[in-house]
Every structure is written in C-alpha cells, then in structure tokens.
Amino acid sequence: MASPDFSLSVVDCPLIQIEGWDGTLAQFESSLSASLGTKLPASVGETVRHKGFLVIRVAPRRLWLALDDGAQASSLAVDPDLGCSVSLGEGRVRFRMAGADIAGVLSRCIAVDWCAPAAAPGRAVLTSLHHVPVLFLRSGETACELIVPRSFSQSLSDWIADAAG
C-alpha cells in the first residue's frame, strides 16, 4: 500500500532474542558487547545501530538483534552460564511505514504518542495492535517499523490499511 501521505511494506525480519540470566547481567552484557563489537543499549526502549543490525533492549535482561535486509546472522555464541539466544525470525515480519500522515494513521492503531520522548526516532516501544503484541521502532521523523507476529501479519496490515484509508 502506498500513497504520497502514507506507505506500508511488509518484509521478513531476521531477529535473534538474547537474554541474560538473573544475577549475571554485568558479565553477560560485557561478553555480548565484545561479541557484537558494539556497546549495548543501556535502558529499555533504547537502540544501538551497528554494522548490519540494530540492537534493541526490550526488557531489562532481554535484547533483540534485528538484522538489516540481506544481512546474515553472525556466529553469536552466548555462554550458557550467562544467558541464551534464540532465533525469532521465522515467527516475525517487519512492517515499514512512512509518510506525512503516519502519526495520524498510527494513532488509530496503537497506543503510542508519536510526539513523546519515549517514541522519538531511534527508540522502541512494546505495545499492541488489535490485541496483538508488536514492537514499535521509530526510524525517522515520518517513518517507523512494527515487528509483528507472522501469523497475524495479514490481518494487521489490513487493519493499518483501513486506518490509512
């Protein structure tokens, strides 16, 4: 769906969830940061972009590693004494949305204030769309992404298209 004021595209979302065990967070984060070659987001909702991926802190001990289109997952080895990792990519898709009317369209779909500091460009917010959990990623002044469960992607994209129409 595309118009001058709003566009929506749906693409695969290579995604890895990484979580540290309770009581090992400092050591887990140090090890993961070294493996990824970048610093980690400090608090929930923060993101860090690095070569071909985005690190998103979705919970105090949980991070999502969203790979860019065409990027291959690095050989990420998490020490099992410190935490674990699991691929979520088969179960998620990424909605890319942009346009001058994006804030209006999203206001009819999700409970995120486009103007709030928590939803500023570069931030992530876990929310829901029609009772389905989604991750909202603000990527620009008039652009964002939603990471949604694959099994709901058709109905959610229809919902957004109706809100845009």
Alpha carbon distance 25, 15 (integer Å): 21
Q: What are 37-89's pLDDT values in tens digits?
A: 999 999 999 999 998 899 999 999 999 999 987 666 666 889 999 999 999 98
For the chain, percent of residues with pLDDT exceeding 90 = 87
Structural domain of 7: 2-12+91-163
Shared domain check, 98 and 71: no
CATH number at residue 96: 3.30.1360.120
Shared domain check, 119 and 81: no
Length of the chain, in residues: 165
Pairing of strands 132-140, 83-87: unpaired
Burial of 35 (0-12, 13-18, 19+ CB in 10 A): middle
Is the pLDDT assigned to residue 109 strictly greater than 60? yes
Contacts from 105-111 at CB under 8 Å and sequence distance 24+? 105/6, 105/160, 105/163, 105/164, 106/144, 106/163, 108/163, 109/159, 109/160, 109/163, 110/134, 110/136, 110/146
The residue ranking higher by pLDDT, 158 or 5, is: 158
Q: Can you tell me the mean pLDDT for 111-121?
A: 94
Shared domain check, 19 and 7: no
Q: Report pTM.
A: 0.91
> How far is C-alpha 7 from the chain's CA centre?
18
- Looking at 38, 72, 87, which one is the last position of a domain? 87
Q: Can you tell me the mean pLDDT for 108-120?
A: 94
CATH number at residue 59: 3.30.70
Q: What are 126-147's pLDDT values in tens digits?
A: 999 999 999 999 999 999 999 9
Sorted by sequence, the CB contacts under 8 Å of residue 141 that are 6+ apart come out as 121
Shared domain check, 70 and 32: yes
- Looking at 87, 118, 141, which one is the last position of a domain? 87
Q: Looking at residue 165, what is its pLDDT?
A: 83
Q: Can you tell me the mean pLDDT for 121-126?
A: 96
Name the β-bridge partners of 98.
7, 143
Q: Looking at residue 4, what is its pLDDT?
A: 72
